[in-house]
């Protein structure tokens, strides 16, 4: 379980702009500019007037004193828009032994450099000395009817990670792509072919190569985020 410490403060989104900035009106009427830790399109998660939650910081070296963490969608679902939180949730779940297929490892390493394209795997697990490379992707785009899509914007980086996973798989290592669903209304994950067709093609190629596809549900609340189970990854034939 990943708790928000210090606790979050609630507000109302005025606007998100320049990708990394957002203006928010707090409950006491104070207007603040906060850091937006998400490089994607954030479709459905940046509607002006939405309820949002920020995490304050007392670090005097920070330019902005708060970070945008959560938003409530028009349908009433809580979403964590802080992309890096997905890695923290995944790490805790791995250490707790609650990720099916990824339990019983001997060693867990973070940000391991690998591959010919000089990538960094989010995690490298060792099972009896045998490596297992794990890439984590945060899913927040709700296409309706419980379907989550990834990516929410064209992502050359995400396609590169798939190429790296395919390469290590060919070399005999395990390779796992884990979608961490940070949206309480999503029940399945599919590739966003209409947004990034190259990623969709790479995902299908990776599946054929034997890269393992996994989706984990992360239940989001105002106090914490907790991994609660697995969801299906649906890759339709083209």
Beta strands in 38-129 (DSSP E): 51-56, 66-72, 78-80, 107-114, 119-127
Strand partners, 192: none
Beta strands in the chain (DSSP E): 2-3, 9-17, 21-26, 31-35, 51-56, 66-72, 78-80, 107-114, 119-127, 130-139, 141-142, 147-150, 174-181, 188-191, 212-220, 224-231
Of residues 15 and 116, the one with the higher pLDDT is: 15
pLDDT at 60: 86
Q: What is the mean pLDDT of residues 143-159?
A: 97
Any idea what the Cα angle at residue 222 is, between residues 217 and 223, rounded to 5°?
A: 90
The 3-state DSSP class for residue 30 equals: coil
d(CA 173, CA 126): 10
d(CA 134, CA 127): 13
pLDDT at 116: 86
Model confidence pLDDT, tens digit, residues 57-88? 988 889 999 999 999 999 999 999 999 999 99
Structure tokens at 48: 């002006």
d(CA 203, CA 116): 19
Of residues 59 and 124, the one with the higher pLDDT is: 124
Determine the longest span between alpha carbons in the chain, in angstroms: 57
User: Is residue 166 scored above 90 in pLDDT?
Assistant: yes
Q: What is the mean pLDDT of residues 40-47?
A: 96
CA torsion through residues 87, 91, 97, 103, sign: positive
Q: How many residues does the chain have?
A: 238
CA torsion through residues 16, 21, 22, 23, sign: negative
pTM of the complete model: 0.95
Q: Which domains are assigned to the chain?
A: 2-80 (2.40.50.580), 85-231 (3.40.1350.60)
Q: Give the β-pairing of 174-181 and 212-220.
A: parallel
Percent of the chain with pLDDT over 70: 100
For residues 169 and 79, the answer to whether their CB atoms sit within 8 Å is no
The residue among 139, 6, 133 whose CA lies nearest residue 83 is: 139
Confidence of residue 118 (pLDDT cuts 50, 70, 90): confident
Q: Give the β-pairing of 66-72 and 78-80.
A: antiparallel
Model confidence pLDDT, tens digit, residues 174-230? 999 999 999 999 999 999 999 999 999 999 999 999 999 999 999 999 999 999 999
With both helix axes pointing from N to C terminus, report the angle between 197-209 and 156-170 in degrees, rounded to the nearest 10: 10
Percent of the chain with pLDDT over 90: 95
């Amino acid at each position: 379980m990943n708790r928000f410490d210090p606790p979050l403060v609630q507000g109302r989104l005025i606007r998100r702009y320049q990708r990394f900035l957002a203006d928010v009106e707090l409950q006491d009427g104070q207007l603040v500019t906060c850091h937006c830790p998400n490089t994607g399109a954030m479709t459905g998660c940046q509607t002006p007037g939405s309820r949002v939650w920020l995490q304050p910081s007392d670090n005097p070296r920070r330019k902005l004193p708060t970070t945008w963490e959560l938003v409530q969608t028009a349908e009433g679902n809580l979403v964590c828009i802080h992309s890096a939180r997905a890695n923290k949730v995944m790490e805790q779940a791995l250490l707790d032994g609650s990720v099916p297929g990824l339990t019983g490892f001997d060693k867990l390493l973070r940000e391991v450099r690998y591959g010919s394209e000089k990538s960094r795997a989010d995690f490298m697990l060792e099972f009896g000395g045998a490596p297992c490379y794990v890439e984590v992707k945060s899913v927040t785009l709700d296409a309706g009817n419980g379907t989550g899509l990834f990516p929410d914007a064209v992502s050359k980086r995400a396609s590169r990670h798939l190429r790296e996973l395919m390469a290590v798989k060919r070399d005999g290592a395990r390779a796992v792509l884990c979608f961490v669903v940070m949206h309480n209304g999503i029940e399945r994950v599919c590739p966003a072919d209409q947004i990034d067709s190259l990623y969709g093609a790479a995902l299908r190629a990776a599946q054929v190569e034997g890269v393992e596809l996994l989706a984990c549900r992360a239940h989001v609340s105002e106090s914490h985020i907790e991994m609660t189970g697995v969801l299906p990854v649906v890759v339709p034939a083209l």
